[in-house]
Amino acid sequence: MFNWFALLFFVERVEEYLEAIYDIQEKKKRVVKTNDLAKKLGVKPSSVTEMLLKLSEKGFVEYQPYYGVVLTDEGLGVAKRIKRFHRIFETFFIDFLGLSKEESHKLSCELEHHVTDEVAEKVCMLISSPECMACDECNRSFHILKNAPDGSHEIVVAPLITKKLGFLPGKILEKSGDNIFLDGEGFMLEDEISSKIVVRSVD
C-alpha cells in the first residue's frame, strides 16, 4: 500500500530545506554550508548531507561535498513560492485575525506547505491593497470594498451572506462614497460586510 503520509512529509521536508537554503543565501550572500543548514533546521550535519544529495538528484540544488550548496533555478522557484505563501498567511493572521506575530509565524510555517496556489491567491486577494507589502507579486488592482476608491469594480470574492443581495463574483458594481450600486439598486453595507468583499478595479 502506498504511503501518502510519508510522501507528504518528504515534500514538506524538501520545501523546508529549499526555504532554509534561500534564507541563508539571501542573508550571507554566499554558498550555503552544511553546518549552516544543520544549525538553522536543528538537525545533524549527516542528515543535511543525505537530504542535499536527494535534492541534487531532483535538480533543486547544486551540491558539492565539503564545499556547499546553491539553489538551481527550479529550487529557487519553489523556495520563493513557499516564502510568498508564508508572508501572505502571516499578514492575514496578523492584520485580519489579530493574532500575535509569534502565533502567526508558527501557523504560517505549517500552512505554507499544505495549501494550493488557488487558496493562496484567494487569501492574497483578501489582504491585497496598494499598501500591502506581503509580496512583490501582489496584484494591487484588488481592494477590500470598504477601502476601494470610487468607481467601477468587479466582485472577486464575496461572503455567502451577500448572495441574496446579488453580490456575486463577476458582477460589476459602482461605488460612490458609502453608497454601492448593483443591478440598478443602491446599498449601504455595514463595515463588517464591506470589509469581506474583494473587488477589482475596472476601467
The separation between CA 62 and the C-alpha centre of its own chain, rounded to angstroms, equals: 26
43 versus 92: which is more confidently predicted? 43
Question: Looking at residues 79-85, what average pLDDT do you find?
Answer: 91
CB atoms within 10 A of CB 45: 13
Reduce the DSSP state of residue 61 to 3 states and report it: strand
Reduce the DSSP state of residue 187 to 3 states and report it: strand
Question: Looking at residues 53-74, what average pLDDT do you find?
Answer: 93
In sequence order, the 6+-apart residues with CB closer than 8 A to the CB of 64 are none
| Inter-axis angle of helices 4-28 and 73-91, nearest 10 | 90
Domains along the sequence of the chain with CATH: 4-71 (1.10.10.10), 76-127 (1.10.60), 142-201 (2.30.30.90)
In sequence order, the 6+-apart residues with CB closer than 8 A to the CB of 79 are 15, 18, 19, 21, 22, 71
Contact 148, 137 (CB under 8 A): no
Q: pTM to 2 decimals?
A: 0.69
pLDDT of residue 137: 58
Confidence of residue 129 (pLDDT cuts 50, 70, 90): low
Distance CA 182, CA 186 (A): 7
pLDDT one-digit tens code per residue, 178-191: 899 998 889 988 88
Question: Looking at residues 148-164, what average pLDDT do you find?
Answer: 86
Distance CA 68, CA 25 (A): 11
Question: Looking at residues 80-101, what average pLDDT do you find?
Answer: 88
Distance CA 59, CA 72 (A): 7
